[in-house]
């Protein structure tokens, strides 16, 4: 799968996307990550990507003409790419959306900054995604979260058995996500807190039963 990130701060991605599972996935040719500097698509000598808002107000707004060029370039380079704007106005990201995006051939993530996007930018994209009801300084951290969560669902990135029983991979009868059962490792007894006996029994049927009965759901807000 090919990821393309349109951002003003490509250097932010160097650490998170060059370590651990994501690093191995790139080395094995399972994913490709490309960083596009938004300023490269500005047409003035100052590489201007933002301007003051019409009607007045604080802050700066990312310009539609510059973003149009950046998005058009991504669509030209990755013809089947799905372009997603990262904005608090988007649908709230969850595991279902991660699974949905993992079916794409290519994903272009547009990172916001400052006071956000010119309203006309929303007409240029295929999707708008938010990672939660809180404010970040830009779309770079959401982009990293999406790349990580989507990549691990792709064939070969991690062993399927590693995520098949993970949190958010199944739902209960009411449609709530199930969270993974409790996990334990050595030491057997730590400050009086002991590993449940059933996990030491070697009885796989009973262990499976215990795990299934100890699944939990997300707490209501």
Q: Which fold has domain 2-151?
A: Alpha/beta knot (3.40.1280)
**Contact by Cβ (8 Å): 178, 219:** no
The model's pTM is 0.88
- Predicted confidence (pLDDT) per residue in 8-26, tens digit: 999 999 999 999 999 999 9
Distance, CA of 107 to CA of 126 (rounded, Å): 10
Distance, CA of 178 to CA of 219 (rounded, Å): 11
- Predicted confidence (pLDDT) per residue in 142-158, tens digit: 999 999 999 999 999 99
Angle between helices 140-151 and 20-27 (to 10 degrees): 70
Token match 């999707």: residue? 127
In this prediction, residue 174 carries a pLDDT of 81
| Distance from chain centroid for Cα 200 | 37
DSSP-H helix ranges across 152-203? 160-163
Architecture of domain 165-217: Orthogonal Bundle (1.10)
Q: For the chain, which residues make up each domain, given as ranges?
A: 2-151, 165-217
Neighbours of 36 (CB within 10 A): 20
């Amino acid at each position: 799968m090919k990821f393309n990130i349109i951002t003003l701060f490509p250097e932010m991605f160097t650490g998170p996307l060059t370590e651990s599972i994501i690093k191995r996935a790139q080395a094995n040719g399972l994913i490709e990550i490309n960083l596009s500097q938004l300023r490269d698509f500005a047409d003035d000598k100052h590489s201007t990507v933002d301007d003051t808002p019409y009607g007045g107000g604080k802050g700066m707004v990312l310009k539609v003409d510059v973003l149009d060029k950046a998005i058009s370039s991504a669509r030209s380079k990755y013809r089947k790419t799905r372009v997603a704007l990262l904005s608090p106005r988007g649908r709230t990201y969850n595991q279902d959306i991660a699974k949905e995006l993992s079916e794409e051939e290519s994903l272009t993530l547009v990172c916001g900054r400052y006071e956000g996007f010119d309203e006309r930018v929303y007409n240029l994209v295929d999707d708008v995604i938010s990672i939660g009801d809180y404010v970040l300084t830009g779309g770079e951290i959401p982009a990293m979260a999406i790349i990580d969560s989507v990549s691990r669902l792709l064939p070969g990135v991690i062993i399927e058995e590693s995520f098949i029983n993970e949190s958010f991979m199944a739902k209960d009868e009411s449609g709530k996500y199930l969270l993974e059962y409790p996990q334990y490792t050595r030491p057997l007894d730590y400050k009086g807190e002991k590993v449940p006996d059933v996990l030491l029994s070697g009885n796989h049927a009973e262990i499976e039963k215990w795990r299934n009965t100890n699944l939990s759901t997300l707490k209501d807000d």
